[in-house]
Amino acid sequence: MPRTLMLSLFFLLFQIAGLVTSIHAVLNTRTAQGAIAWVVSLNTLPVVSVPAYWVFGRSKFVGYVNTMKDSSLSMAVDREKAHASLSPYLIDQPENFAEYPAIRTLSNTPFMRGNRVELLIDGQNTYDGIEAGIKRARNYILFQFYILRADDSGNRFKKLLIEKARQGVAVHVLYDELGSGRFSHAWLSDFREAGVKIIPFNTTQGAWNRFQINFRNHRKIVVVDGRETWIGGLNIGDEYLGRDPKLSPWRDTHLHIQGPVSLVAQSIFWSDWYWADKKLLRHLNWEPEMAPGLQPGEGMDALILGSGPADDLETASLFFTTALNAAKKRIWIATPYFIPDEATTVALKLALLRGVDVRIITPRINDNWFVRHAANVYLSNLADMGARVYYYEKGFMHQKTILLDDGIALIGTVNFDNRSFRLNFEVTGAIADTGFASKVEQMLLHDLQNSTELKDYDLARQGFWERLKARGSALLSPVL
């Protein structure tokens, strides 16, 4: 066959694929603007756009919901037991959270009383706390991270988990294969030979999901015996201890929660494990207990929210928008990636119009060039309305923390960007307690001391190349 004919057939096939894919884009793309952009590109440059669409164009994680539905009968008994046992700990209305009814309806995850919450600042404190918890385990350990490295930090926890498995504790390890990369056969075999069950999240499993690589399971969850949990910004790797020469010191924040709300973190892991392994974890404890040493009526009110691209609604975006709209006095945001979607941008602008003290802390150095420059577009727009913008100077700040007024703190895995709001599986801890919020305030004040305020920041006054980098990078915000 002549070469020119082969090329003609090749381009014809892509043109047909572009047309067919355009129909899919019109029916499934989240916004009209996005649908128009895809239709134009798919029909003008199909050779590039068709593969790009099937990798980056999906907004829903295919298969996860159907897997949960397929297992609904076998999971129903455990789920009903768990819900019934938690009822004595549910909060009708936590203090300082007027928008709670919307949050409860959205998340189906209520605030619960009787918890003790510890603020863990940076890697050493977090790793030491998780290690101590693992050593306390008597029945089982659930260990899930977006990034799990086979370095000194990874080997530290590998040794601990293997020791517990040999003591008869059931150990389940779940990692995101896209975030963690590939492990050597020998490294994984050490776990399995000791009885530790370790598996990837399996994002691309299923015939229709081979190109489903734009989604991530970004959660970091550790649960011990259904009694305590750890969630927050830190993964398992040496860089989180400040050993990356380009991004050190590493600044991060984690939570250690004891009490009944730990069972919500457990249920999130439970669902993720079922998607990955297609086997239910039957040996878990679903009987809640107050944190040790607390009496009825004592402890902190806490909520744990799981969100992700398998949800019917855009849970993370709606949750944070609702929380921001509830603020009357203060919104302090610390995030490594600040690319808010339209809804959260509007909520922040409305807060500024109400006279709320809006402060945004983001690192000057960043591990993502595009995010670093795209953020300047959004920071400039909000600074123009009165938001105070700070660059964290003492290394790379990776924490995901929001302080609302004097009584609500949100800490978890959600970055302030479209990827976390819509494309990643995430987990967030919300603590409604003035004492805990005061500790978060002191932590953030210390971060502000290590930051430089960008007074009168205006992107329009920057040089041509800075403006071009910012505006150009912002075009990629839907997938950053």
Q: Report pLDDT for 41.
A: 74
For residue 110, pLDDT beyond 90:
no
- CA–CA separation, 459 vs 421, rounded Å? 25
CB atoms within 10 A of CB 239: 21
* Nearest-angstrom CA–CA distance, 395 and 247: 6
Q: How far apart are CA 439 and CA 121, in angstroms?
A: 11
Looking at the fold, whether 282 and 331 belong to one and the same domain comes out as no
Assign 172 to helix, strand or coil.
strand
Q: How many domains does the chain have?
A: 3
Q: Which of 29, 477, 213, 422 shows the shortest CA–CA distance to 39? A: 29
C-alpha to C-alpha distance for 388 and 20, rounded to whole angstroms: 47
Instruction: Please indicate, yes or no, if residue 452 is contained in any of the structural domains.
Output: yes
Task: Please check whether residues 147 and 284 belong to one and the same domain.
Answer: yes
- For the ranges 27-31, 231-235, 313-317, 347-351, the lowest mean pLDDT is seen at 27-31
Regarding whether 226 and 336 lie in a shared domain, the answer is no
Q: How far, in Å, CA of 399 to CA of 44, rounded?
A: 41
Are 140 and 283 a contacting pair, CB within 8 Å? yes
> What is the full DSSP assignment across 63-98?
THHHHHHHTHHHHHHHHHHHHHHHGGGB-SS-TT-T
DSSP state of 281: -
Range of the domain at 10: 3-57
Residue where a domain terminates, one of 246, 262, 295:
295
C-alpha angle 172/174/175, rounded to 5°? 155
pLDDT beyond 70 at 478: no
Q: Which among 90-99, 338-347, 366-375, 454-463 has the top mean pLDDT? A: 338-347
Percent of the chain with pLDDT over 70: 85
Q: Are 443 and 473 within one domain?
A: yes
Name the DSSP letter for residue 236.
B
Whether residue 9 sits in one domain with residue 66: no
Contact 459, 467 (CB under 8 A): yes
**How far is Cα 419 from Cα 293, in angstroms, rounded to an integer?**
40
Phi, psi of 119 (to 5 degrees): -85, 120
Catalytic residues: 218, 220, 225, 398, 400, 405
Shared-domain flag, residues 273 and 355 = no
- pLDDT tens for 152-169 read 999 999 999 999 999 999
Query: Is 32 inside any structural domain?
Result: yes
Closest CA to 426 of 407, 410, 444, 409: 410
Nearest to 181 by CA among 156, 212, 146, 154: 146
Same domain, 258 and 340: no
Element (H, E) at 22: helix 3-28
Give residue-wise pLDDT tens across range 26-43: 777 666 656 776 677 778
Do residues 344 and 208 both lie within one domain? no
- Residue 90 domain flag: no
Beta bridge partners of 118: 256
Q: What is the pTM of this model?
A: 0.90
DSSP at 184: P
> Does residue 308 fall inside a structural domain?
no
Task: Kindly report, residue by residue over 273-324, the tens digit of the pLDDT.
Answer: 999 998 989 889 999 999 999 988 889 999 999 999 888 888 999 999 999 9
Last residue of a domain, one of 263, 295, 327: 295
Three-state DSSP class for residue 129: helix
Residues 6+ apart with CB under 8 A from 322: 99, 102, 103, 106
CB 399 within 8 A of CB 252: yes
Which tops the pLDDT comparison, 75 or 125?
Answer: 125
> Confidence class of residue 73 from pLDDT cuts 50, 70 and 90?
very low
Domain CATH number, residue 145? 3.30.870.10
List of long-range contacts for 187-191, beta carbons under 8 Å, 24+ apart = 187/150, 187/158, 190/158, 190/162, 191/158, 191/161, 191/162
Length of the chain as a residue count = 480
Element containing residue 48 per DSSP (H, E): helix 46-56
For range 320-343, the mean pLDDT = 94
Concatenated DSSP letters for 414-476? Answer: --EEHIIIIIEEEEEEEEE-HHHHHHHHHHHHHHHHTEEE-TT--GGGS-HHHHHHHHHHHTT
Identify whether 303 is part of a domain: no
Say if residue 229 is exposed, middle or buried (CB neighbours under 10 Å; 0-12, 13-18, 19+). Answer: buried
Calculate the CA dihedral of residues 401, 405, 409, 412 and round it to 10 degrees: -30
Tell which phi-psi region holds residue 363, choosing left (phi > 0), alpha (psi between -120 and 50) or beta: beta
Residue 94 included in any domain: no
CA-to-CA distance for 387 and 402, rounded, in angstroms?
A: 15
| Whether residues 285 and 330 fall in one domain | no
